[in-house]
Structure 1
Amino acid sequence: MSKKIKEQIKTKHIRSISGLDASFLYIESERSPMHVGSVAVIEGSLDFETYRETIRRRIHQFPKLRKRLVYVPLSIDYPYWVDDPHFDLDMHLGRIALPGDGSWKDLRDVASQIFSEPLDQSRPLWSFTYVEGLDNIPQVPKGSVAIVSKIHHVAIDGMGGAGLMSMIFDLTPKAEMGKEPKPFKPEPLPNELSLMVRSIKSFVNKPLKFPGLVTETLKATVKTGMISRIKHLDPPTVPFTSPASPLNGIISPRRKWNTAILSLDRVKALKNIMETTLNDVLLAICAGALRRYLLEKDELPKIPMVAMVPISTRPSGDMSVGGNQISSMLVQLATNIEDPIERLEVIQENTIRSKSYHGAMGAKSLANMAELVPFGIANQAARVYTRYNMSKLHKPVFNVTITNVPGPQFPLYLGGHKLLSVMGMAPIIDGMGLIITIFSYDGHITISSTSCAQTMPDIDVFSRYIRESANDLEKRILVLDKKRKAKKVKETRKNESDPSMTDLRKKLKAKPAMGKDIGTIFLIDVTDSDGVTWKIDLKGNNRLIRKGSVKDPEVIININDAHLKRWLNDEFNLETAIVQGRVSIEGDLNKAMKLGKMIEEAAKA
């Protein structure tokens, strides 16, 4: 008898979803299907049977495509992944012909409709729809096809999606579709008793995780405070401080989807000129489109909108397709700033601050907090929140989600046909009615927006504004770069003070403790040298001396070239020179005098 019971409660072949994965089940509703997706355009007339056979032979490489969820009685634990004993590939592969004349509008309308439809949780949570008849899309050969995919977010995140893509597609047009796989032999479904036993064990272990999580959180809090003091950074943006906007209301079931395609090389060129990151430039492009879109509707918030930016917590090189390994940070988008370049500079500062604090807290610590929430309680709380439209009762957690997933920068193939483009899609929920999915592949960047008919019925206008925001930012940065180069030509003439300033830079590098108590950014304006300026950054641990301007210097010192040379060589007294009018100070005089003492110390070193 006992042996029979043991056999019945065996559960080694099933695996619970994580707390983070479960969050995508909590917030799912009839209006918010929680799947991620993509539209992949494939060059030429890929034969449907070839496509189907390729999937059939490779599906064993990602087991979750043949698994479904089972729920524990009374919802005392997270659901479990189990083999689907009735798995039928053809139930997940759709096939349709593009209506109309096969235009881009027809394709995005079809994709929007497919993305509106929830997945059936009684089966594996995915579907691929083969769309033929792409006959009238610019730069796409007539007769090409598209694959519109959907996979529930409980099963996969953005980086996992990129890994799944690498398994479906080939590196060369001549690759084989794979060997005949072994027959699928699903494990038996667990009974309610085995699920209860497994869940009770899990429930007992959860309190044991709590002290460790508290310790990690306390350490992270102390570390965060140290960052604030040492790096002189403002506190990070926190949830529920975002301004109200039309993007943060109650959503409708019908999805609206569109995309904008940019050149990766051109965006990288802007990144290099501005000495920032690719992600910062992309955030600035999206911010520019948001500002214009809402400004034209007279609904632009007076304070900056906030983006939630997901961050992968996968180890470097991990392209596994299972589960969610993500955290996030909040970034102010500077949508209240009109000038695109200034907006980019402020976004860069905001992302640096957010990354510093996010690193202190630890992405894993943030994700692990979800493991302590009982599934049943969280699930019911989420349903109450949705049913009673409670997102109307508080400020938005954030205004928009902007996710950026890097893809391969070389062509991929399916059945010998080249993959031309991949455009992403992700879910929205009440209070968060717009998500922007960025994906780079083979020299191009797609910026795809997903919303609903209630929140953004004119999403095509917004997608156009993304392209125009990119063009405007590029135009202004190239003008700035031209001016900088022209200024650099003027600065090729060496000033008398240049060698002395170079010598000061070397001494600061050799003695990093020198001037550590000053904590200020100075601008030295060489008044008789055609606009030549020097930046001396002694903020926090910085020890930077270079030619160039400063956006918001705390102290400006106006001095001619000859006097600067004498000052750097400790040949005159700064205080006397100020009294005599040979040097003028704008800002904190005490800070300037501290800099003078540091220069005197360096000259004697």
Structure 2
Amino acid sequence: MKALSGIDASFLYIETPNMPMHVGGVAVYEDTLTFETFRQTLVARMPLIPKLRQRLVQVPLSLDRPYWLDDPDFHLEWHLHHTSLPHPGGWRQLRHLASRLFSQPLDRSRPLWEMIFVEGLDDVPLVKAGSVAIISKIHHAVIDGVSGTDFLGLLLDISPEPRKLPEAKPHNPDPIPSDIGLVLRSARNFFVRPLKLPRLLAETAKATLKAGYLTRIEGIHLPPIPFSAPRTRFNAPISKQRIWNSAILSLDRVKVLRKSVEGATVNDVVLAICAGALRRYLAEKDELPEKPLVAMVPISTRLKEEKNKMGNQVSAMLVQLATEEADPLTRFQQIVSHTQEAKSYQRAVDARELVNYSELVPFGLAGLAARLYSRMQAAARHRPIFNLVITNVPGPQIPLYMAGARLLNNMSMAPVADGLGLILTIFSYNGLLSISPMACPQLMPDLDQFTRYLWESANELETAVQAEVAASEKAKPAPEENEVAAALPVQQCQGLTKAGTQCRNHPQNGYQYCHLHLPAAKAEMKV
């Protein structure tokens, strides 16, 4: 039995009936995968992922954070479901099903995950008829983006032939402890946790001094502060419904765009594409703020030795999206500058240390505050902390397989919240990059239009980059004849024959003269 970390528990604090806090995805597989082989694979891999059989145990009166405990009443059938798409089995039917399923909260009395096997993908673009999909839901208290990728790696194989698995240990869960036992554990934690505060305060003071040095001495601009973002239509209280879509791009295409601005990353290109779509979407509704939109961009703080460890190891940075700028390339350049400054500031502030403040939050009070915030629709009464979340998780760039069936694509889903009715999740896999918006339809009923703008924003940025390259080439002065000659390797001896004509012999390596004229040339140089 293990207590949730502060940051894992925070996704339980803020959960409300309108705001379930699970993440998920839509994975599309070749038609050779059946429900039974999927089920058998999951049974075989279950020992590799213990969290799939663990449930929450709540402390009486919410005196402490919940605990993870192996569920003595675990039944796989409660977590696996099987369905088919309605005719014609296209992308519209698949994303509507995913949206509806994602709107439904998970049952906290059981392990916090579900997987839905979907047949009948008969009319999805670029997907062979008869392919299948798996829609997954798993609580954010269990995984973050990086551990979600690790989860995928444990579940799948790198070749059609499944790998040999270690011998599974018998599953013998401990009995659920009594309420008195849980209260006694909580009492100990109540006295131990505050002892961490002096070290956290010292680390915070150190980070503050370092950040001050960077801003004053090195001239790095401070990132946007919370509550400085302008209000938009998706910064309002949300309903229970969700709407989801995905735009698929070539990862190679994104990497080419990255090279157009010095110091840019793939994530910067993605931010620029998202910014272009946001600008156009709001401008067409005559709702584009004069101030730039601000995105919260999660940053993994997971160490190499924490690979395959479930839970959340994440911090965040705030980035201005330059949505006030009309030119796509200039906007991209500004975003690169903003992210570099935000990263410099993040390096000054030890993200892992600051995340530890979540360990000191009283679970009961935090949950009560979140419920009151939602019930009072407080998100409509203040400026947004930031405008939206844009999270990018790089996935494996090789094909993966389940029971011999190739994974064709994997698109992510993530929760929205009161005041943050839009989130964009990015996942790259095997040469593809998906940008998947999730929104509250009450705030963004036309998410299809916004998704189309993501594609068009990528096209606009590509056109702007190509125009800049063409203009640069055209502006270059034509090289002088002697400059061209100097740039070319010498192909003929520069010495003269007795008749006064140029020698036709090849020069010696590294010299301008052949073996006949080189000695005389060297002697002349000495003189």
Does the 8 Å CA contact 2:159/2:401 hold for their aligned counterparts? yes
TM-score (norm 1): 0.78
Q: Percent identity?
A: 52
Equivalent position amino acid for 2:328 in 1 = P
Measure how far apart 1:362 and its partner are: 1.2
Matched position secondary structure for 1:186: coil
Measure how far apart 1:177 and its partner are: 7.3
Superposition pairs of residues 73-152 of structure 1, within 5 angstroms:
73-152=60-139
Distance in 2 between residues matched to 1:405 and 1:486, nearest whole Å: 38
Q: Which residue of 1 aligns with 2:388?
A: 400
Distance in 1 between residues matched to 2:389 and 2:85, nearest whole Å: 30
Matched position secondary structure for 1:155: coil
Bigger drift between 356-365 and 220-229 goes to 356-365
Cα distance change on mapping 1:177 and 1:492 into 2, 3 Å: farther
Question: Is 1:477 matched up with 2:465?
Answer: yes
Superposition pairs of residues 392-471 of structure 1, within 5 angstroms:
392-471=380-459
Q: How many residues align?
A: 482
Question: Is 1:246 matched up with 2:246?
Answer: no
Measure how far apart 1:488 and its partner are: 4.3
Question: Is 1:307 matched up with 2:295?
Answer: yes
Distance in 1 between residues matched to 2:176 and 2:331, nearest whole Å: 55
Superposition pairs of residues 23-422 of structure 1, within 5 angstroms:
23-176=10-163, 178=165, 181-275=168-262, 276-316=264-304, 318-422=306-410
Bigger drift between 193-202 and 80-89 goes to 193-202
Does the 8 Å CA contact 1:248/1:431 hold for their aligned counterparts? yes
Matched position secondary structure for 1:224: helix
Q: Which residue of 1 aligns with 2:486?
A: none
Equivalent position amino acid for 1:280 in 2 = D
Q: C-alpha deviations, 1:37-83, integer Å up to 9, x for none? A: 00000012311111100000111111111001111112111110011
Distance in 2 between residues matched to 1:491 and 1:28, nearest whole Å: 66
Q: C-alpha deviations, 1:226-249, integer Å up to 9, x for none? A: 001222122221100000100101
Equivalent position amino acid for 1:213 in 2 = L
Q: C-alpha deviations, 1:149-196, integer Å up to 9, x for none? A: 000001100000000000111100122574774442111111111111
Cα distance change on mapping 1:491 and 1:298 into 2, 3 Å: farther
Equivalent position amino acid for 2:3 in 1 = S
Equivalent position amino acid for 2:352 in 1 = K
Cα distance change on mapping 1:116 and 1:223 into 2, 3 Å: same
Does the 8 Å CA contact 1:57/1:180 hold for their aligned counterparts? no
Does the 8 Å CA contact 1:16/1:81 hold for their aligned counterparts? yes
Q: C-alpha deviations, 1:373-406, integer Å up to 9, x for none? A: 1111111111111111111121000001000000
Does the 8 Å CA contact 1:161/1:321 hold for their aligned counterparts? no
Does the 8 Å CA contact 2:229/2:293 hold for their aligned counterparts? yes
Does the 8 Å CA contact 1:132/1:144 hold for their aligned counterparts? yes
Equivalent position amino acid for 1:484 in 2 = S
Does the 8 Å CA contact 2:237/2:374 hold for their aligned counterparts? no
Distance in 1 between residues matched to 2:481 and 2:229, nearest whole Å: 49
Measure how far apart 1:101 and its partner are: 0.6
Distance in 1 between residues matched to 2:110 and 2:402, nearest whole Å: 26
Distance in 1 between residues matched to 2:36 and 2:349, nearest whole Å: 50
Cα distance change on mapping 1:317 and 1:287 into 2, 3 Å: farther
Distance in 1 between residues matched to 2:47 and 2:71, nearest whole Å: 13
Bigger drift between 180-189 and 299-308 goes to 180-189
Matched position secondary structure for 1:112: helix
Superposition pairs of residues 532-571 of structure 1, within 5 angstroms:
none
Equivalent position amino acid for 1:255 in 2 = R
Bigger drift between 384-393 and 218-227 goes to 384-393
Matched position secondary structure for 1:274: coil
Measure how far apart 1:493 and its partner are: 8.3
Does the 8 Å CA contact 1:62/1:321 hold for their aligned counterparts? no
Does the 8 Å CA contact 2:14/2:366 hold for their aligned counterparts? no
Distance in 2 between residues matched to 1:389 and 1:226, nearest whole Å: 40
Superposition RMSD in Å? 1.5
Matched position secondary structure for 1:261: strand
Distance in 2 between residues matched to 1:254 and 1:396, nearest whole Å: 21
Q: C-alpha deviations, 1:487-527, integer Å up to 9, x for none? A: 446478899xxxxxxxxxxxxxxxxxxxxxxxxxxxxxxxx
Does the 8 Å CA contact 1:241/1:397 hold for their aligned counterparts? yes
Distance in 2 between residues matched to 1:432 and 1:400, nearest whole Å: 6
Equivalent position amino acid for 1:254 in 2 = Q
Matched position secondary structure for 2:246: strand
Cα distance change on mapping 1:381 and 1:442 into 2, 3 Å: same
Does the 8 Å CA contact 1:308/1:398 hold for their aligned counterparts? yes
Does the 8 Å CA contact 1:177/1:415 hold for their aligned counterparts? no
Cα distance change on mapping 1:332 and 1:241 into 2, 3 Å: same
